[in-house]
Structure 1
Amino acid sequence: MLILPSRRQFLTGLGAAVGVAGTTGAYGFGIEPLHRLVVTRYAPSIPAWANGPSLRIAVLADFHICEPFMPFDRVVQIVDATNALRPDLVLMLGDYPAGKVAWRKLPLADFARLVEGLRAPLGTYSILGNHDWWDDEATQLAVGGTPRVRKILEARGIPVLENDVIRLTKDGKPFWLAGLGDQEPFEHRPISIADLPGTLAKVTDDAPVLMMAHEPKIFPWVSERVALTLSGHTHGGQVRIFGRSPAIRPVAGHDLAYGHRVIDGRHIIVSGGFGVSRIPVRFGVPPEIVMVELGQSAPDATTS
């Protein structure tokens, strides 16, 4: 027999549901994106890194600087927290300006001055993301354009790798750092400037390769020559529930929304990044500094 709730029970239940929804919304809008900052650590065992050095990599993705969601005091907090981790290498994975979600945009030159304070013995390197192009109207006209944020970062001593590589050495052991051009630099136009074959062709010996690729969607086509691909872009879906990111579609049948994934023996780590885009909400995927430890024995994937 079906027992219907009384009017009082119905209204009480409705009020509770609205209260929970309101509390959840307040948290997702005002707490998680603005005030939380976690360190997510990965120590993957990667056969292709067997001859590489012991390396601690801080990965910073998707700042999307703006007020009120990523003000400069928040950037300072991220820089200080990153330096406290004492990484060997810092990698910035693109999307420095905010998108349409910004209530007030902030000067990229001031942002570059702050991230110039990042400290690592092997240096800080970066790539560009789609918003670095979309924010710069001058580069919307031709693929050959150069987004101003690239010039601003490089003026502060932070190289931007675009379909390029650099050979680095730690403890006498070499490795290659590669950076791809962005895969969707023109909004609403299916154009990619990522040159995966051309980039890897610049690797001239058998030292292991780290690949920076802003969007993870290219990963199914990254060869096993690359030991580890590092990506951002997705923000972990911004809303992540029960280990799923409903807003992010699979790529070639693979879930590349967030975290460490292994496909056919090839490894990728997708950072949830810091900022917000499209909607100013984060829930279940707090802003994070990703610390990757290669050549270590620590357990994979811990958050603090």
Structure 2
Amino acid sequence: MRWFLFILFYILVDIYAFQAVKTITKSPLIYGFYVVISLMVLAGLIYELSFFGSSKMMQPPKMYFFGIFLAVFVPKLLLVIFMFGEDILRFFVGLFMKIYGSQGDFYMPSRRKFVSTIALGIAAIPFASLLYGMIQGKYDYRVLKYALEFDDLPDEFDGFTLTQISDVHCGSFDNRRKVEYAVNLINEQQSDIILFTGDLVNNTADELHDWKNLFSTLKAPQGIFSVLGNHDYGDYVKWKSASAKAENFRRLIDSQKEMGWDLLRNENRILERNGQQIAIVGVENWGENGFKQSGDLDKASEGISGNMFKILLSHDPSHWQSKVKTDRRNFQLTLSGHTHGMQFGIEIPGIIKWSPIKYRYKNWAGIYEEFGRYINVNRGFGYLGYPGRIGIWPEITVIQLKKKQNTV
């Protein structure tokens, strides 16, 4: 029933938005083009909802339809807002003329061409942006570098560098050359360690098949460590049996080993330099709002002394906000992903950082600090759902750890 109501809503929006086109042109050719595009998108929408509406599998063809749907529908919504605002004004003008006019008749003024022209011009902005995000933005990789200071960082790790990537979602990729460029860009950072914070695939281990050799070329002197994200468990697939799901999960685990990645499943690894140590701690996915909660900090921290410097890998930043930042064991730095920055937003360093995802996650992109503890939320390497990015670009994070110098 809800899908029928959504389709009805789409049709009403489409018809209403068409009034703006009629105001500025009388061309049958343009009318026909508008109608054909609208009918094609409507047919695709009905097809997707009828045959795939209950499936959570996100494959490139479906994602591209979703992207095209957004590129067509969002501008029409903007047109409706403008047209509706103008219609309200026209109604009150007509009402005023009926009450105070000499004729006493209710007459609504005709639509003004310049309002429709402005509305169409503004609507063209999201249309162009959504297309750009699908064509170029999704592979517009950015290297973001930070230096963080800690009082309790061991001296031997002063200047230690780590590269974080997250949310690869390799089942979405459609351009090997672009992804190869990004993998080379990661290696070019020459960090001491590479840390991956979950969501290697969209749903199934098979998605990794064509990309495994490429991600195997990632190298770092201290190794590559990873954790699982909510998509890595295969929970969003309707499996034929529990054993099929378990086999899929086993193959994903084995693939990471074959790639040379050390997957941490509620466990830790100790790095040592000249007798001094830090811990890399990795938990399984722990999220709120219905996401899997398999992360176990107690188990992951076994064997670690309380005052050891710790870097925690936890896919979902809500874990840090709810549990980690106040944990008595003091996890000095947490690395997360998950949000993708919603793949849409506005970021101008030092001026504005905004995305709709901020209304769901307090920590959604970049560095945050509370109680002297830090979290970095990586904006994601890949994409999911909408096959593009606008304003929130795919990210490779490089963090240098620094020993805070005491000043007198």
TM-score by length of 2: 0.62
Equivalents in 2 of 1:140, 1:191: separation in Å? 20
- Residues 62-141 of structure 1 mapped to structure 2, 5 A cutoff: 62-67=167-172, 69=173, 71-98=175-202, 107-134=207-234, 141=242
- 1:66-90 deviations in whole A, cap 9, x for unaligned? 35x4543333222211111111100
- Residues 96-245 of structure 1 mapped to structure 2, 5 A cutoff: 96-98=200-202, 107-134=207-234, 141=242, 145=246, 146-170=249-273, 172-183=275-286, 191-204=292-305, 206-220=307-321, 221-222=323-324, 223=327, 225-241=330-346, 242-245=352-355
Q: Secondary structure at the match of 1:226?
A: coil
Asked if the contact 1:99/1:277 (under 8 Å) is kept, the reply is no
- Structure with the higher fraction of residues in helix conformation: 2
Asked if the contact 1:134/1:140 (under 8 Å) is kept, the reply is no
Using the TM superposition, name which of 287-296 and 227-236 deviates more: 287-296
Evaluate the alpha carbon distance shift between residue 282 and residue 9 of structure 1 in structure 2; reply closer, same or farther with a 3 A threshold.
Answer: same
Asked if the contact 2:203/2:232 (under 8 Å) is kept, the reply is no
State the partner residue of 2:79. Answer: none
- 1:103-143 deviations in whole A, cap 9, x for unaligned? xx96413322211111111011111111111268679949x
Equivalents in 2 of 1:207, 1:26: separation in Å? 48
Asked if the contact 2:310/2:332 (under 8 Å) is kept, the reply is yes
State the partner residue of 1:302. Answer: none
Q: Secondary structure at the match of 1:59?
A: strand
Asked if the contact 1:57/1:87 (under 8 Å) is kept, the reply is yes
Equivalents in 2 of 1:245, 1:111: separation in Å? 30
Evaluate the alpha carbon distance shift between residue 189 and residue 225 of structure 1 in structure 2; reply closer, same or farther with a 3 A threshold.
Answer: closer
Tell me, yes or no, if structure 1 residue 284 matches structure 2 residue 391: yes
Larger radius of gyration: 2
Shift of 1:205: 6.3
Task: Give the number of equivalent residue pairs.
Answer: 284
Q: Secondary structure at the match of 2:148?
A: coil
Shift of 1:149: 1.4
Shift of 1:91: 0.8
Q: Secondary structure at the match of 2:211?
A: helix
| Bigger relative contact order (CA 8 A; separation at least 6) | 1
What runs of 5+ residues in structure 2 fail to find an aligned partner? Answer: 1-88, 94-108, 347-351
Evaluate the alpha carbon distance shift between residue 162 and residue 139 of structure 1 in structure 2; reply closer, same or farther with a 3 A threshold.
Answer: farther
Shift of 1:191: 4.2
Equivalents in 2 of 1:172, 1:80: separation in Å? 33
Using the TM superposition, name which of 160-169 and 5-14 deviates more: 5-14
Paired residue type of 2:343: Q
Equivalents in 1 of 2:233, 2:179: separation in Å? 21
Shift of 1:28: 2.4
Q: Secondary structure at the match of 2:332?
A: strand
Shift of 1:38: 0.7
Asked if the contact 2:192/2:222 (under 8 Å) is kept, the reply is yes
Asked if the contact 1:70/1:275 (under 8 Å) is kept, the reply is no
Paired residue type of 1:125: F
Paired residue type of 2:277: P
Equivalents in 2 of 1:225, 1:139: separation in Å? 43
Shift of 1:169: 1.9
Shift of 1:159: 1.1
Paired residue type of 1:239: F
Equivalents in 2 of 1:139, 1:236: separation in Å? 34
Q: Secondary structure at the match of 2:194?
A: strand
Evaluate the alpha carbon distance shift between residue 205 and residue 6 of structure 1 in structure 2; reply closer, same or farther with a 3 A threshold.
Answer: closer
State the partner residue of 1:14. Answer: 119
- Residues 13-52 of structure 1 mapped to structure 2, 5 A cutoff: 13-34=118-139, 36-49=140-153, 51=155
What runs of 5+ residues in structure 1 fail to find an aligned partner? Answer: 298-304
Shift of 1:27: 2.0
Using the TM superposition, name which of 51-60 and 206-215 deviates more: 51-60
Shift of 1:284: 1.5
Paired residue type of 2:259: R
State the partner residue of 1:300. Answer: none
State the partner residue of 1:247. Answer: 357
Q: Secondary structure at the match of 2:262?
A: coil
Asked if the contact 2:151/2:403 (under 8 Å) is kept, the reply is no
Asked if the contact 1:65/1:71 (under 8 Å) is kept, the reply is no
Asked if the contact 1:49/1:227 (under 8 Å) is kept, the reply is no
Asked if the contact 1:132/1:147 (under 8 Å) is kept, the reply is no
